[in-house]
Chains A and B, each alone.
Chain A
Amino acid sequence: MDIKKNVGNEQLELVLSGRLDTNTAVELEQEIKSIEGIKSLVLNLKDLEYISSAGLRVILMAHKKMRASSGTMLIKHPNDVVMEVFDMTGFNDILKIEK
């Protein structure tokens, strides 16, 4: 997986590509943990091939972190399979997702 960062004023977009799996979820977790002073976090998944349960855990962590700091998190452009995973796990009810 590759993570590209677009930083704005209190905004951060992380563009994820490849597989968000057990091993790469650790990299995303480090990125999320290092976030400070961000009010708007966007996870752009347009180039993300797939997500496993380990990836879901990190996304849930990011969601909680942004909520705890009164910020927002938006998931953008998941592919069909990633969206299917969000739907089957109920994450579609928790997350704000823009298709």
Chain B
Amino acid sequence: MRELVVPAINDNLDKVVDFVGAFLQETQFQNKQIIQVSIAVEEIFINIASYAYAPDVGSAKIICRLEGSKAIIGFVDSGKPYNPLLSNDPDVTQSAEQRGVGGLGVFMVKNLMDNINYKYEDGKNILIIEKNII
């Protein structure tokens, strides 16, 4: 298991994506799947950086572990309770003119990962995403 704790700010995006990417590269994951996970990691981390502690800054903990042929990545923050799984999926059939700018990120995470779970425990948001090695 590996852990990274960083201030949840946009400037730490590369650090977080690279941390998870480096972990996955030591496994049997192929590059394509690592990139899929990287996108999901960005969407979740940026959500934390944008909303969890706003207008203040707090920290985010990222935990990576491998369980059999499955990578499990957890995101923990102590910000405002927020369950991203409760947000409505965007209508992806809308034309360019009709489209709003919100909601796509979480929708992409759901599509790119095999499993996603949220819980609020001891004052912490805990979001866990899973990807199976193909």
Which residues of chain A have a CB within 8 Å of any CB of chain B?
19, 21-23, 49-54, 56-57, 60, 63-64, 67, 80-81, 84-85, 88-90, 93-94
**Docked-complex contact B96 and A63, CB < 8 angstroms:** yes
On whether A49 and B35 interact (CB within 8 A), knowing A22-B13, A60-B96, A60-B99, the answer reads yes
Chain B contributes a number of interface residues (CB within 8 A of A) equal to: 28
B133 interfacial contact with A, CB 8 Å: no
Instruction: Say whether chain A's binding surface is mostly helix, strand, loop, or mixed.
Output: helix
Q: Which of B23-63 contact A (CB under 8 A)?
A: 32, 35-36, 38-39, 42-43, 46
CA distance in complex: A94, B38 (Å)? 25
B101 interfacial contact with A, CB 8 Å: yes
CA distance in complex: A88, B13 (Å)? 23
Which residues of chain B have a CB within 8 Å of any CB of chain A?
10-11, 13-14, 17, 32, 35-36, 38-39, 42-43, 46, 90, 92-97, 99, 101, 104-105, 107-108, 111-112
On whether A93 and B108 interact (CB within 8 A), knowing A50-B38, A60-B99, A81-B35, the answer reads no
**Docked-complex contact A89 and B32, CB < 8 angstroms:** no
**Docked-complex contact B92 and A89, CB < 8 angstroms:** yes
CB of B38, distance to nearest CB on chain A (Å)? 6
**Docked-complex contact B99 and A52, CB < 8 angstroms:** no
Closest 6 CB pairs of A and B: A90-B92, A53-B105, A53-B104, A81-B35, A88-B111, A52-B42
CA distance in complex: A23, B92 (Å)? 24
**Docked-complex contact B108 and A81, CB < 8 angstroms:** no
Q: What residues of chain B lie closer than 8 Å to A52, measured between beta carbons?
A: 39, 42-43, 46, 105, 108
- Can you list 27 pairs linking A and B with CB atoms under 8 Å apart? A21-B17, A22-B42, A23-B10, A50-B35, A50-B38, A51-B39, A52-B39, A52-B105, A53-B43, A53-B105, A53-B108, A60-B96, A60-B99, A60-B101, A80-B32, A81-B35, A81-B36, A84-B36, A85-B39, A88-B92, A88-B111, A89-B92, A89-B104, A89-B108, A90-B92, A90-B93, A94-B99
